[in-house]
């Protein structure tokens, strides 16, 4: 074990995958937007409302998620309305679902209040 610790001190952390992943998704709002997308939320107003952030914050984070390739922006139009965009998970974004599930499970076990978790998965 001491050999491993000695070796670890010589490893470079400049290309750490955990640090790079956190640069993309290491923000509370970003993770909550991804949670909502994984639950099927698609419309901007719904994201902002369900995550509890202002429209400018939601817009900036959604734009970044699209830029990072985690969400696709697709136009839709309801009858009599102007064209708007909806947001859907890409394959890259869907690959984060196990991470979100693990965070939820950890939160259920260690961070839920007395009422228990808000979402129960069966």
Q: What is the pLDDT of residue 9?
A: 74
Domain boundaries, the chain: 28-122
pLDDT, tens digit, for every residue of 20-29?
A: 999 999 999 9
pTM of the shown model: 0.86
Architecture of domain 28-122: Orthogonal Bundle (1.10)
Residues of the chain with pLDDT under 50: none
Q: What is the pLDDT of residue 1?
A: 61
Q: What is the pLDDT of residue 115?
A: 86
Q: Quickly list DSSP for 42-106.
A: -BHHHHHHHHT--HHHHHHHHHHHHHTTSEEEEEE--TTS--EEEEEE-HHHHTTHHHHHHHHHH
């Amino acid at each position: 074990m001491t050999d491993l610790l000695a070796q670890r001190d010589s490893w470079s952390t400049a290309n750490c995958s955990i640090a790079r992943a956190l640069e993309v998704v290491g923000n509370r709002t970003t993770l909550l937007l991804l949670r909502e997308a994984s639950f099927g939320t698609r419309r901007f107003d719904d994201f902002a409302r369900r995550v509890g952030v202002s429209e400018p914050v939601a817009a900036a984070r959604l734009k970044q998620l699209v830029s990072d390739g985690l969400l696709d922006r697709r136009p839709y139009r309801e009858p009599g309305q102007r064209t708007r965009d909806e947001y859907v998970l890409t394959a890259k974004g869907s690959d984060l679902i196990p991470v979100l599930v693990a965070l939820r499970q950890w939160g259920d076990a260690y961070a839920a209040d007395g009422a228990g978790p808000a979402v129960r998965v069966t």
